[in-house]
């Protein structure tokens, strides 16, 4: 069963075609990686799914519902949450407050913010911080966390929406190999613990093989291959255009 269906979605920027009639289905419960070199169109593809960009034509269906043209915050409320390639947190607020505010937004309790104050969602905030490994950093200023921990915080913020499907745009971008390995392990654990369907982008092919059930390769705005990791790894076209003929990961 496809939980997310993209049908011939197209996006051009002033004549430059960034996403070229892409059709794609995300199966419920799977972990699916979209890989492709920088500039392939991965972030644009995510923006088209999450309502941050409108397609020139084509449709996006989430959970059996047409979401094309819907505002991003409404799509989040339906259960489709994402993280961004660039860090997207409130840097001056504490780690705890960042997650707490996300929970308040989810519950649309803005009007109660001042009456209930800091007591709001405290337990769930602590739970989420523990889940992403930030239990000890709750009171630190978010913008002063190490880079890898800021990415963990973003993950907690995305999870605060209580999503059914999670989209992560290059979750390990800018991380050291060790941080990358730890981060992938964490994402894997959380996906299982929360029963999430996960779609993530990555430019380094090597990162995805341990975690993805399926991989789709995006190249110049077109999905040139889609399948199990081994199928994709051995695909002639993928090797030619993406790996440059080598079996090693390419950036």
Q: Which residues bind ligand ADP (CB under 6 A)?
A: 13, 18, 36, 38-44
Q: Kindly report the number of other CB atoms within 10 A of residue 134's CB atom.
A: 24
Q: Token digits for 190?
A: 């959380």
| Closest distance to Mg ion from the beta carbon of 26 (Å) | 18
User: Taking a C-beta distance cutoff of 8 angstroms, is the pair 229, 238 a contact?
Assistant: no
Residues β-bridged to residue 21: none
Confirm or reject binding of residue 43 to Mg ion (CB under 5 A): yes
Confirm or reject binding of residue 31 to Mg ion (CB under 5 A): no
- How do beta strands 57-62 and 2-13 pair? antiparallel
Q: Kindly report the number of other CB atoms within 10 A of residue 240's CB atom.
A: 11
Q: From the list ligand ADP, Mg ion, none, which binds 69 (C-beta under 5 to 8 Å, kind-based)? A: none
| Closest distance to ligand ADP from the beta carbon of 128 (Å) | 27
Confirm or reject binding of residue 83 to Mg ion (CB under 5 A): no
CA gap 39, 25 in Å, rounded: 22
CA gap 2, 6 in Å, rounded: 10
| Residue number, 42 or 219, with CB nearest to Mg ion | 42
| Residue number, 22 or 67, with CB nearest to ligand ADP | 22
| Residue number, 42 or 82, with CB nearest to Mg ion | 42
| Closest distance to ligand ADP from the beta carbon of 12 (Å) | 9
Q: Which residues bind Mg ion (CB under 5 A)?
A: 42-43, 85
């Amino acid at each position: 069963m496809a939980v997310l269906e993209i049908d011939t979605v197209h996006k051009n920027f002033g004549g430059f075609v960034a996403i070229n009639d892409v059709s794609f289905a995300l199966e419920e419960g799977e972990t699916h990686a979209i890989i492709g070199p920088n500039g392939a169109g991965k972030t644009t593809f995510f923006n088209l799914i999450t309502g941050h960009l409108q397609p020139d034509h084509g449709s996006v269906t989430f959970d059996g519902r047409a979401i094309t043209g819907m505002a991003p915050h409404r799509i989040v409320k339906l259960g489709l949450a994402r993280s961004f390639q660039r860090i997207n947190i409130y840097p001056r607020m504490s780690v705890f407050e960042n997650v707490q505010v996300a929970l308040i937004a989810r519950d649309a309790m803005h009007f109660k913010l001042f009456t209930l104050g800091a007591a709001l969602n405290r337990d769930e905030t602590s739970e989420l911080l523990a889940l992403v490994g930030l239990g000890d950093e709750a009171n630190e200023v978010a913008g002063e966390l190490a880079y890898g921990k800021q990415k963990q915080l973003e993950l907690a913020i995305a999870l605060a929406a209580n999503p059914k499907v999670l989209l992560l745009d290059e979750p390990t971008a800018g991380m050291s190999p060790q941080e990358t390995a730890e981060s992938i392990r964490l994402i894997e654990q959380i996906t299982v613990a929360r029963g999430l369907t996960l779609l993530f982008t990555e430019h380094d092919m090597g990162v995805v093989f341990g975690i993805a059930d399926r991989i789709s390769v995006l190249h110049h705005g077109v999905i040139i291959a889609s399948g199990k990791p081994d199928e994709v790894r051995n695909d002639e076209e993928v090797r030619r255009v993406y790996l440059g003929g080598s079996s090693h990961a390419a950036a």
